[in-house]
Chains A and B, each alone.
Chain A
Amino acid sequence: MRAARRWALISAACLAGLALAALALNSVRAAPLTADLSDHLIKITTGFTGTDVLLFGATDGPGDVIVVVRGPAARTAVRRKHRVAGIWVNRSQVVFSDAPSFYAVAASRPLEELMGTQALKRHQLGPWGIKLTAEEEDDDGLRIAYQAALNRIRSAEKLYQLESKKVRFLGEQLFRVDITFPSNVPTGIYTVQVFLVRDGDVVTAQTTPLKIEKHGFDYEVFEFAHTHSALYGLFAIALALAAGWLASVVFRRS
Chain B
Amino acid sequence: MQIYLPIAEMSVDVFLLLGLGGMVGFLSGLFGVGGGFLMTPLLIFIGIPPAVAVATEANQIVASSVSGVIAHWRRQNVDVKMGLVLLAGGIFGSVIGIQLFAYLRGIGQIDLVISMSYVAFLGIIGSLMLAEAGRALLRRKGGAAQARRRQRRWIHGLPIKMRFRKSKLYISAIAPFVIGAVVGVLAAIMGVGGGFIMVPAMIYILGMPTSVVVGTSLFQIIFVTATVTFLQSVQNQTVDVVLAMLLLAGGVIGAQFGSRASTYLRGEQLRGLLAIMVLAVCGKLVWDLVTTPEDLFSVATLGAGS
**0/1 interface trace, chain A 241-254, chain B, CB 8 Å (1 if under):** 10111011001001
Chain A minimum-CB-distance residue to B112:
A89
Of B37-45, B178-186, B205-213, B233-241, the one contacting chain A is: B233-241
Minimal beta-carbon separation of A150 from chain B (angstroms): 6
| B59 contacts chain A at the CB level, 8 A cutoff | yes
Is A222 close to B, CB under 8 A?
Answer: yes
CA A80 – CA B299 in complex, angstroms?
9
Query: In B202-261, which residues have CB < 8 Å from any A CB?
Result: 226, 229-234, 237, 239, 241-242, 244-245, 248, 252, 256
Q: In the assembled complex, which residues on chain B have CB atoms less than 8 Å from the CB atom of A236?
A: 59, 229-230, 233, 239, 241, 244
In the complex, what residues of B have CB within 8 A of residue A149's CB?
Answer: 295, 297, 299
Residue B296 contacts which of A72, A76, A81, A98 (CB distance < 8 angstroms)?
A: A81
In the complex, residue of chain B having the shortest beta-carbon distance to the beta carbon of A244? B66
Asked whether any CB of chain A lies closer than 8 Å to the CB of B293, the reply is yes
- A62-100 residues at the B interface, CB under 8 angstroms: 72-83, 86-90, 93, 95, 97-99
Main secondary structure on chain A at its contact with chain B?
Answer: mixed
Q: Which residue of A lies closest to B5 (CB)?
A: A218
Contact with B along A213-241 (1 / 0, CB 8 A): 01001110110011001101111110111
Min distance, Cβ A254 to any Cβ of chain B, angstroms: 8
A208 on the interface (CB 8 Å rule)?
A: no
Instruction: Knowing A99-B305, A230-B230, A233-B230 are in contact, say whether A153-B297 is a contact too (CB < 8 A).
Output: yes
The answer to whether B7 and A221 touch across the interface, beta carbons within 8 angstroms, is: yes
Query: Could you tell me the distance between the alpha carbons of A214 and B10 in the complex, rounded to whole angstroms?
Result: 12
By beta carbon, the residue of chain A nearest B67 is A248
Chain B residues contacting A87 (CB-CB under 8 Å) are 112, 116, 289-290
CB < 8 Å neighbour of B305 from A72, A153, A183, A251: A72
CB distance from B47 to the nearest CB of A (A): 11
* A237–B226 touching, CB < 8 Å: yes
Contact with B along A92-132 (1 / 0, CB 8 A): 01010111010000000000000000000000000000000
Inter-chain contacts of B112 with A (CB < 8 A): 87, 89-90
- Specify which chain A residues have a CB less than 8 angstroms from the CB of B108 in the assembled complex: 77, 79, 90, 93
Q: In the docked arrangement, what's the CA distance between A248 and B293, Å?
A: 44
**Which listed residue (A45, A75, A82, A225) contacts B4, Cβ 8 A?**
A45
Q: Contacts of A73 on B, CB cut-off 8 Å?
A: 304-306
B231 partner residues in chain A, CB cutoff 8 A: 233
Q: Which A residue's beta carbon lies closest to that of B62? A: A240
A235-B4 contact in complex given A146-B297, A240-B62, C-beta closer than 8 Å? no
**B3 x A240 contact (CB < 8 A):** no
Question: How many B residues have CB within 8 A of the partner chain?
Answer: 55
Q: Does the CB pair B67–A237 fall under 8 Å?
A: no
Chain A residue, CB-CB nearest to B249: A243
Of A153, A184, A229, A247, the residue contacting B233 (CB under 8 A) is A229
Query: Which of A146, A150, A230, A248 has a CB less than 8 Å from the CB of B234?
Result: A230
Contact of B297 among A74, A80, A235, A237 (CB under 8 A): A80
Residue A46 contacts which of B3, B237, B293 (CB distance < 8 angstroms)?
A: B3
Asked if A17 is an interface residue, CB under 8 A from chain B, the answer is no
**Bound CA–CA A88/B112 (angstroms):** 9
A221 B6 Cβ-Cβ under 8 A: yes
Question: Are B303's CB and A74's CB within 8 A?
Answer: yes
For A82, what are the chain B residues with a Cβ–Cβ distance below 8 Å? 296
Q: Is the CB of B302 within 8 A of A75?
A: yes
B146 at the interface (CB under 8 A from A): no
Quick check: A78 and B63 within 8 Å, CB to CB? no
Is B70 positioned at the interface, with any CB of A under 8 Å from its CB? yes
Is the pair A237, B62 in contact by a Cβ cutoff of 8 Å? yes
Instruction: Specify which of A76, A86, A234 is in contact with B299 (CB 8 Å cutoff).
Output: A76
Give the 3 A-B CB pairs with smallest separation, nearest first.
Answer: A244-B66, A233-B233, A73-B305
Known: A244-B65, A244-B66. 12 other contacts (CB 8 A): A49-B11, A75-B302, A75-B306, A79-B108, A79-B300, A101-B301, A149-B299, A222-B6, A222-B7, A230-B233, A233-B234, A237-B229
Ordered by A's residue number, 15 sampled pairs between the chains whose C-beta atoms are within 8 Å are A45-B4, A74-B301, A80-B297, A87-B116, A88-B292, A88-B296, A89-B112, A98-B306, A222-B6, A229-B234, A230-B230, A233-B229, A233-B234, A240-B63, A247-B67
Interface residues, chain A, with chain B CB atoms under 8 Å away: 44-49, 72-83, 86-90, 93, 95, 97-99, 101, 146, 149-150, 152-154, 183-184, 186, 214, 217-219, 221-222, 225-226, 229-230, 232-237, 239-241, 243-245, 247-248, 251, 254
